[in-house]
Amino acid sequence: MSIALAEARREFLARCSALGVGATLFPGVLWAKVAAGVEITDASIVAAAEIAGVTFTEEERSMMLAGLKRQTAQLDALHKIPLDNAVAPAIVFTPLPRADAVPRGPQRPVRASRVTATPLPAAAEGLAYAPLTELADRVRRRQVTSEQLTTMYLDRLARLDPQLLCTTSLTRERALKQAREADAEIARGRYKGPLHGIPWGAKDLLAVKGYPTTWGTPPYKDQVLDYDATVVQRLDAAGAVLIAKLTLGELAQGDRWYGGMTRNPWKLDQGSSGSSAGPASATAAGCVGFSIGSETLGSISSPSTRCGVTGLRPTFGRVPRTGAMALSWTMDKLGPMTRSVEDCALVFAAIHGPDQVDQTVHAAPFNWDGDAPLRGLRVGFVQSAFDLPVDRGHATKPFDDAALTVLRGLGIDLIPVEIPEANYDAMRVILTAEAGAAFDELTRSGRVNQLVQQNVGAWPNTFRTARFIPAVDYINANRVRTLAIQQWDALMQKVDVIVAPTGSTQLIATNLTGHPAVILPNGFREDGTPVSLTFLGRLFGEEALLRVAHAYQKATPHHLKHPAL
């Protein structure tokens, strides 16, 4: 740092000290004092420029002063305009590398694989851990009623939630009404499909009319939205029965919310990870038939891994997010969390496609056939990630190596590939900036101090530091993202599906490029907790992705094991 710059910075910090702000709080000082009406001076420009990573001469700073004052007035005017979290920017992100990247063709009815008949359990609770495919078959054949399943799952939630802390509210009245309607429709021969009469749970960032939508944090604990999210509407139309709002780490981070820490059913002293903490915990614990989670940067992947469930993170632009809390408009994705790959396919079939509101969503067919062969599919594996030894961070190597053996045993000729090189970590400023914008009013009002978590890695600190990401750099990060999307497009021309260790670079990379992923259980550690494996697909390539993951899961027993609660 030059002597002049150091002196200017000291002068600015001295002024801050005189105003009662300590130097250790400097990252929030300039914005806070400007917002409070403190005059912008040459010293404050020097200090702000230092944070932005640029330097200007004295003459340049003098020229900037008037413009910055005008800009501050403009920003002040913007701050006075109320913006609901549901209002998206007038800039629509797409992960498409080219205009023809969205597949076209007819949408055909879902064809689930044949269910092997087994004796009906003596009590409905014997079906608690059954996959959706089995539940659907028994409801269709009227071996069990929707009301019986709904009552059973509601009772399990009431009994187990004190251990798991996986629900924010039960939607009992709504659920029982839906279940009775489903039973009446099925009795009249009006069967709607595999979700008809099946109880499910919604991550509590999805709006449900008449019930709190808390986003997992005290400032929104009493928030009741007067509409249903599109995904909720679509599952209602499919005949599914919503029985609970399930927890999320506050504002979609981690597994801690205003009610405590959501627990991993396999190890109750451990959190279920996040932020789709409740959906993973409740699904693993046999408290719902399936659930809906969301992912921005690992929020389906991480809790699916921790709790041993199967999660589908769809392509960005596949499932409408209308009525879901916005954290990052260019990275948020909604997807199913279930007890099997095929269950994910059945739920996804009901929720994908445009709703004419979320402008990021494209129309593309999803034609699921649970008995379709793998013939013709090219499957790659991230060789360097699999080759990484245990002592260099690859803790799941024995499980991952065994998975490759199983895949080869299915007749798959695995093709070695590598993740495209890019500075994915640098692009994380995109999420930080968008999250800061999504909760700007919360930060400026000071209500952010009501959040449960207030540490360095928690949202309050992130929202404050987001104020210092230059707009120019946010845009350029998205330009670098374009290059990454192009690199991934070139890679995915070579293969249809890629298998990768869950904890590898693929997680941040594909969340930025918008590629879909399936995360499924892949064994158990000595302490009984699950590990997972990840399959990646082409943009809008969920059909092939799920086919390969489904074949692998059928050849392994991991998803058939359940926690002993």
Output the pLDDT for position 40: 86
Residue 302 known to be catalytic: no
Bond before 275 cis per omega within 30 degrees: yes
Catalytic-role residue among 273, 275, 276, 328: 275
Query: DSSP string spanning 127-143?
Result: GTT--HHHHHHHHHTTS
CA distances from 106 to 21, 103, 352 (A): 63, 10, 14
Query: Which residues fall within 8 angstroms of residue 236, CB to CB, at 6 or more apart?
Result: 178, 228, 242
Which residue blocks in 367-470 are alpha helix, DSSP H? 383-387, 397-409, 429-438, 440-445, 459-466
pTM, whole model, 2 decimals?
0.92
**Ranges under pLDDT 50 in the chain:** 1, 4-5, 8, 12, 16-34
pLDDT at 493: 97
Query: For residue 68, what pLDDT is reported?
Result: 87
What are the two backbone dihedrals, phi and then psi, of residue 164, each rounded to the nearest 5 degrees?
-90, -30
Mean of pLDDT over the chain: 93
Active site residue 275: yes
Can you give the pLDDT at residue 463? 95
Please indicate whether residue 203 is annotated as part of the active site.
yes
- The SS3 call for residue 460 is helix
- Rounded CA separation 25/14 (Å): 13
Instruction: Go through the domains of the chain in sequence order and give each one's CATH number.
Output: 1-81 (no CATH), 99-423+474-560 (3.90.1300.10)
What local confidence, expressed as pLDDT, does residue 37 receive? 56
Spatial distance between the Cα atoms of 258 and 266, rounded to a whole number of angstroms: 22
What DSSP assignment string belongs to 509-541? HHHHHT--EEEEEEEE-TTS-EEEEEEEE-TT-
At which residue do the structure tokens 């499919």 appear? 238
Residue 210 is predicted with a pLDDT of 97
Q: Note the pLDDT of residue 47.
A: 87
Residue 218 token pair: 């005290």
Distance CA 2, CA 13 (A): 16
How far apart (Å, rounded) are the C-alpha atoms in residues 492 and 539?
Answer: 9
What's the pLDDT score for residue 26? Answer: 37
Helix and strand totals (H; E) in the chain: 19, 15
Provide the residue type at 497 as one letter: V
State how far the Cα of 140 lies from the Cα of 239, in Å rounded to an integer: 12
Q: Check residue 273 and give its pLDDT.
A: 98
135-168: pLDDT as tens digits: 999 999 999 999 999 999 999 999 999 999 999 9
pLDDT digits over 163-198, tens only? 999 999 999 999 999 999 999 999 999 999 999 999
**Which of 299, 301, 304, 532 is the catalytic position?**
299
